[in-house]
Structure 1
Amino acid sequence: MLSTSLFPAGITGNSSLLACISASGSLQRIFWPFVDGGQHLGILKTGLLLPDNQTIWLDDPAWAVRQYYLPGSAVFVTELAHPGLEVSVSQHDFCLPHLDVFCRWLKITNLRPGSLAGRLVIYMSLNIDESVQYDGMYIENNLLVQHRRRVFAGLTIPGRVLSGFHCGRRHTPSDPWAPALRGEFWGGRDNIKEGAAALAWELGPLQSGQTEDFPVLLLFAENARQLADLLDRAASTPAGELFQETLDYWRTFLTGTPQPPEHVSIFAPSLMVMKLLSEKKTGASIAAPEFDPAFQASGGYGYCWPRDGLYVALALDLAGKHQEAADFYRFCRRVLNPDGSFHQRYFVDGSWGSSWGQQRDQVGAVLWGCAAHYRLTGDRTFLEEIWPLVQSGAEHIRQSLGEDFLPAPSMDLWEDQFGQSTYTAAACSGGLAAASFLADTMGEEQQAADWRSAARNIRQAVLDRLWSPSRQSFVRGRRHNPHSCYLDERLDSAVLGLCFPFALLPPDHPLMQKTVAALESCLWNHSAGGLHRYEGDGYAGGNPWVLLTLWLAIYHTLAGHPARARELLGWAENNASPTGLLPEQIHKDKGGPAWVLPLNWSHAMYVLAALALAGRYNFSSLEFRV
């Protein structure tokens, strides 16, 4: 298990540039030109060099830290106070909405009774595209540049003249780290391979109570000329205007979204997370900022799964963000395989990610989402654009049905079992029902009839083959191995998909009611609360999942149990990070984030649960009857 310190305290970005900030306020990871990569951060440390001291880095544990988002924005604030130094630092981290520039706006305040003078120090050594090979580094006109192939990163403080600098090679005698601690800057202007630089700017003198601003810019471009142009554009605008432009962008994005119920605390932050993790150039959304690129404890999270993406797109659609939702379905149209299937997961540019099996549920889920988007918007141009996806995807599912009328075996949505899962059957039936609705709209009567018949057959097969009389519940599915096929009678929370979103069964259907009762009896965590995935789940410690608990909240809202739904929504809020980010899992014994932060799917389910509870949208209008 990896340490939870790998998970960010906050994220910010512009839907192509994505930055992760640690609990100490350090820049932890930064991704560009896409939200999934490359990842370029090696080391970026900020410190103060004061008289009679060595450089004190701002991530030193002696600093007291407070962190939060400015309301209605992706501006992440870290407030630092050092009682020994009698100095406070306010750090506002944000990315410019329309320029690939990360801004760290530092405000340093003298808390001493007398004056204060010193230096601001930054040490930077990037691992461009996660590599220490072939990079170059140089300083020119108060701008530090580190580059490798088609990535040029520049760091500067506009309007400030460097008072000291040195470029060297990390882990060698020329490394400027140790000299910078002592306040020594040797003046080297360039380096090749594993570049490292220390930069200094004069601070003060500040009178007691006085504050000085340092807007540090980290810029990304494809070549030196583009970097220079980008710097000209960013540096020509005062930091306060860049800050206000960013605030206005986010507040405009959140304007017009449905108002959630009272006391729902992380609705707007959830929309912000979904926007940050959606790539604006392609429409793809990633599961989470990548934290495990070496696959030490997982298969990685910085990828787009059509499965997760459906719930993110649906939440955006219901929150009135139709363009972002449509862009996701257009991405799905572009990456669909010729046979109507999806690869398991993708990089956001559409190239294949590593995988361990096909997930047929993703096809059905995306078909359902396309129809939901059309029903919400009535956008005929969109329908005509994605119609080839609908035709290919629906036929892929229909042709996969066996004599048992269940979809052919594939990996389940949890990606750890090969067979005919109940969730996959629900997604495929719901997807075919949605496709038949779209076919009717397009005047394709025969296709509509074929897909409607197939959807009915899958639904009946679920009732006939995936219900367990002994468990009084729908169960995980039929498991396949080279020698046999048998009913896996373990309970699995994913069967909630039978009701929402795919509507094979209404919430008041007796079998659905019995299933939910069984899930809450067997999979509820009685120490920290929350719903586990399935019986015997040991992944990442076998903890309760936030998205499943919120899925249960949606069911209870649809079933007419708002008090229970509100209780479950509150549980999710109570187990968010201190800055309002939702994890994949919470610790099974003590609560609080345990694994993956933030998880896009968790935030999507929070938005869906909040909207359902508020009655802001009639979810039954998204049912596609067969």
Structure 2
Amino acid sequence: MARDLPIGNGNVLINFDAAYNIRDMYYPLVGQENQSSDHLSHFGIWCQEGFFWIDHPEVSKKLTYLEDSLVTDVQCSHERLGLNFGIRDGVDVQQNSFVRKVKVENHLDVEREIKLYFHLDLQIYGNGVGDTIYYDPELNSLLFYKGHRYMSLSCLSPDNEKPTPSGYATGQKGIHGLEGTWRDAEDGHLGGNPIAQGSVDGIIELTLKLPANSSKEAWFWICFGKTKQEVERLEQVLRTTTPQVFLQRTHEHWVKWVNQDAHQLSLLKPDLESFYKRCLLITRTNVDNRGAIIAANDSDILKFAKDTYSYMWPRDGALVSHALDRAGYHELSRNFFDFCSKVLTPEGYLMHKYNPDSSVGSSWHPWVDGQGKKQLAIQEDETALVLYTLWHHHKLAGTLDKSREDYEKLVKPAADFLVHYRDASGLPLPSYDLWEERYGVLAFTVSSVYAGLVAAARFAEFHEDKARAVYYADIAELVKKSAEQQLFAPEQNRFLRALYWSYEENKYIPDYTMDMSMYALFDFGLLQLEDPRLLSTMKALKDKLWVQTDIGGIARYENDYYHQVTNDVAKVPGNPWFICTLWYAEWLVATAKTVQDLVEAENLMRWAIHHALPSGVMAEQVHPFSGEPMSVSPLTWSHASFIKVAQEYLSKLKKLTSKEVESGVDASEDKVLEPVNH
């Protein structure tokens, strides 16, 4: 089930599923140590007329955020039982605490007793072995712990002066036929077992007295710490400050943060502006405060591969950081580049992926080829794109005069690696592609290597390292010329996806598969926009990869097998991906000559909005027939892609509008793209 409405503060990340059950609870690193590990934590309501959990079919729900905020705004209704309830959840921006406000409305003409149940099914350190839960009589809270991880679960009723639950239960689950303490709540009475160990869960009860046709607000919260003393301190701060203050300051923080964007967003239509901001906020939830930009934190993918996307891929991180830098959030990108500098190998390259704590992540890339010979288990574009985006980081942040350390510790060793990791023709040596499926010389990788070397040359020139400046620039030009000679197919009048080395034939074998990642030929500056070979390539990509269903969108490449749902590859070359569709929108923006030319790009941006969840969350890909999210959700790269294309769109819109005004064209006649001031 797709993850929705992520909330976090860079230390704590909480994901909900589509029914608004808590599924993922990361602490103390975003993406590492999922203290919930896809186990479902329930929220339920009891009244004399019946009991229900929030995911019951009779509960209608609208799942959104408060505008420009990382505080949720979830409206629920159980018409038959005469109950409405609204939930606002947030992770405090100053303390590692999750806060929930529940407003319950009684729509019957009688006074009623309402009981709220908050259940937690944790897997501390990511596993359910040796956990303990007990009721703490001093805190009047449930306390979970194992090793150096502690989590408290507390509540506050408006009918009580102190945060004291009206009931609680602890127990075991998943063993001996036990389902968990949540079952104990369904009769409106908890057993009160005070402690359990092993594979455990717990639940607290909060009771409200609601007069006829009235409403009341109740509170729940979870505090996270590495010691019991830390949790006790957080509990004291929260109770003294009040959970309302925590939630309010969190809301205000995010509204202020997202409206610091460096662009003139008022030129965007309201729906595009709102979605752009939502993408920034969702992206921020997947950025750890120590610098790791995590690809996705949806543990539901465990069912597919027994591994997650909760890693820092240097490529994803570089492109996400670039979008953040362009928006003006330089401090987040700075942390990312510090992370990369820390993990760069002595040889000058970055590994496949990393855990948020900077250790090397899992990998399926072998260190030997089919002949048993050593090969590097890397994707070279990941090293190159860090150089490319690092240059732009310093340019955009205005910190080139402070880039000497980056130049010495990161740029020079990485650029020297790119220089030497080439064959006699000048092309980069084979490495794995960005889709992590093929070992060869890829158009995307070659384009990124060119961009990385150009960036390194600019760094060298700035720091008056004249020999390296000339050297890196010359090698970049050689890479470009080699790509034009060897990656272009004259008979097809377009570029190739890749070259693969054949030991049998002792030469490279061309790969003619259309792959949307070839957009990199223009985006990373290898080719000029007006190059007829590029124009032909981009047209062929759109023609071959557009999904011919009512859903539409652009697939990764021809006959994409990942989560494939049909063998009709002529109609559905692959599932539509958000990033691929937005890459083509970026091409349309780049080549637009008039304001009217931007219409198709805007339509593709709205395609992304339409196929996101109502909250604004975008998955990796969508089902080609139903439009349902597929694979992980949210994918950070999807959101960063929308951020970047919106930035390009804004820049081009301003340029073309100004040009048309100067030439006497009435741009206001364009009803589709008419700027909105608000």
TM over 0.5: yes
Aligned to 1:494: 517
Distance 1:618 1:375 in 2: 21
Deviation at 1:23, TM superposition (A): 1.9
Deviation at 1:138, TM superposition (A): 1.0
Aligned to 1:456: 477
Distance 2:197 2:582 in 1: 51
Q: Which amino acid aligns with 2:193?
A: G
When the two structures are aligned, how many residues end up with a matched partner? 610
Contact 1:160 1:201 in 2 (8 A): no
Contact 2:14 2:26 in 1 (8 A): yes
Deviation at 1:292, TM superposition (A): 4.5
Contact 2:21 2:40 in 1 (8 A): no
1:481-508 C-alpha deviation (Å, 9 max, x unpaired): 55353111112111111111x1111211
Distance 1:336 1:456 in 2: 25
Contact 1:144 1:156 in 2 (8 A): yes
Candidates 396, 405, 413, aligned match of 2:417: 396
Q: Does the alignment pair 1:597 with 2:633?
A: yes
Candidates 20, 37, 41, aligned match of 1:44: 41
Aligned to 2:141: 143
- Identity over aligned pairs, percent: 26
Distance 2:635 2:181 in 1: 37
Q: Which amino acid aligns with 1:520?
A: K
1:384-434 C-alpha deviation (Å, 9 max, x unpaired): 231121001000010011112111110011110000111111000110011
Aligned to 2:113: 117
Local SS of the residue matching 1:615:
helix
Deviation at 1:314, TM superposition (A): 0.9
Distance 1:200 1:274 in 2: 34
Trace 1:402-413 onto structure 2 (pairs within 5 A).
402-413=423-434
Distance 1:184 1:65 in 2: 26
Contact 1:16 1:34 in 2 (8 A): yes
Greater CA deviation, 520-529 or 84-93? 520-529
Aligned to 1:624: none
Distance 2:303 2:40 in 1: 21
Deviation at 1:134, TM superposition (A): 1.0
Local SS of the residue matching 1:47:
strand
Candidates 356, 365, 379, aligned match of 2:385: 365
Distance 1:617 1:391 in 2: 37
Candidates 258, 273, 285, aligned match of 2:282: 273
Trace 1:192-591 onto structure 2 (pairs within 5 A).
192-204=197-209, 206-257=210-261, 258-260=263-265, 261-262=268-269, 263-264=271-272, 265-280=274-289, 282-292=290-300, 294=302, 296-297=304-305, 300-355=308-363, 356=365, 357-380=377-400, 382-387=402-407, 388-484=409-505, 485-500=508-523, 502-527=524-549, 528-541=551-564, 542-560=574-592, 561-591=597-627
Deviation at 1:360, TM superposition (A): 0.5
Contact 1:550 1:606 in 2 (8 A): yes
Aligned to 2:25: 30
Aligned to 1:168: 171
Deviation at 1:295, TM superposition (A): 6.5
Distance 2:514 2:103 in 1: 54
Deviation at 1:510, TM superposition (A): 1.2
Aligned to 2:664: none
Deviation at 1:187, TM superposition (A): 2.6
Aligned to 1:153: 151
Distance 1:138 1:452 in 2: 64
Runs of 5+ in structure 1 lacking a partner?
A: 620-626
Candidates 59, 63, 67, aligned match of 1:67: 63
Deviation at 1:551, TM superposition (A): 1.1
Runs of 5+ in structure 2 lacking a partner?
A: 157-161, 366-376, 565-573, 656-678
Distance 2:216 2:402 in 1: 51
1:260-312 C-alpha deviation (Å, 9 max, x unpaired): 322414100000011111101x1110111132464624853111111111111
Root-mean-square deviation (CA, aligned residues, Å) is 1.9
TM-score by length of 1: 0.94
Distance 1:190 1:535 in 2: 56
**Judging changes above 3 Å, is the alpha-carbon distance between structure 1 residues 230 and 124 closer, same or farther for their aligned structure 2 residues?**
same
Q: Which amino acid aligns with 1:143?
A: S
Deviation at 1:166, TM superposition (A): 2.5
Deviation at 1:172, TM superposition (A): 5.0
Contact 1:135 1:194 in 2 (8 A): yes
Distance 1:432 1:554 in 2: 23
Q: Which amino acid aligns with 1:507?
A: L
Local SS of the residue matching 1:539:
coil
Distance 2:129 2:401 in 1: 47
Greater CA deviation, 34-43 or 86-95? 34-43
Deviation at 1:181, TM superposition (A): 2.0
Greater CA deviation, 552-561 or 402-411? 552-561
Deviation at 1:441, TM superposition (A): 0.4
Local SS of the residue matching 1:10:
strand
Distance 2:643 2:177 in 1: 53
Local SS of the residue matching 1:287:
coil
Deviation at 1:201, TM superposition (A): 2.2
**Judging changes above 3 Å, is the alpha-carbon distance between structure 1 residues 374 and 52 closer, same or farther for their aligned structure 2 residues?**
closer
Contact 2:47 2:113 in 1 (8 A): yes
Contact 2:589 2:652 in 1 (8 A): no
**Judging changes above 3 Å, is the alpha-carbon distance between structure 1 residues 228 and 299 closer, same or farther for their aligned structure 2 residues?**
closer
Distance 2:428 2:119 in 1: 56
Local SS of the residue matching 1:604:
helix
Distance 1:617 1:330 in 2: 34
Contact 1:474 1:491 in 2 (8 A): no
Deviation at 1:173, TM superposition (A): 8.6
**Judging changes above 3 Å, is the alpha-carbon distance between structure 1 residues 176 and 491 closer, same or farther for their aligned structure 2 residues?**
closer
**Judging changes above 3 Å, is the alpha-carbon distance between structure 1 residues 298 and 51 closer, same or farther for their aligned structure 2 residues?**
closer
Candidates 187, 191, 197, aligned match of 2:196: 191
Candidates 75, 78, 89, aligned match of 1:79: 75
